Amino acid sequence: MDPFVALECQAVMPDRFGLVLAAAARARSLREDARAGLDDADENAIDTALRDIALGVLGPDELRPFLPPSQPLRLAKHN
């Protein structure tokens, strides 16, 4: 894997936890025969998923479920 791909991914999706979830979901869909952004048979699914995120193959609507909510959730008080 190219080490700069992770830095490019963080520019697209700054939340690291969300990036991991998005990359895992994308890799899962690639294993189920989803189409990759660029054809490169030498890469595994995780590398391809990260590269697709860095290149912007996944749109904002596809990445939004993996981003933290804009307003923090408030926890209920325990009695």
The pLDDT of residue 61 is above 70: yes
**Cα(56)–Cα(60) distance, rounded to whole angstroms?**
9
Helices vs. strands in the chain: H and E counts, helices first: 4, 0
The answer as to CATH 3.90.940.10 being correct for domain 3-66 is yes
The pLDDT of residue 73 is above 70: no
Which positions ≥6 away from 16 have C-beta within 8 Å?
A: 10
The predicted model gives 43-61 an average pLDDT of: 86
Nearest residue to 62 via CA among 16, 21, 1, 2: 21
What does the domain layout of the chain look like in residue ranges? 3-66
pLDDT in tens, 21-43: 999 998 998 888 777 766 665 67
Task: Report the percentage of the chain scoring pLDDT > 70.
Answer: 77
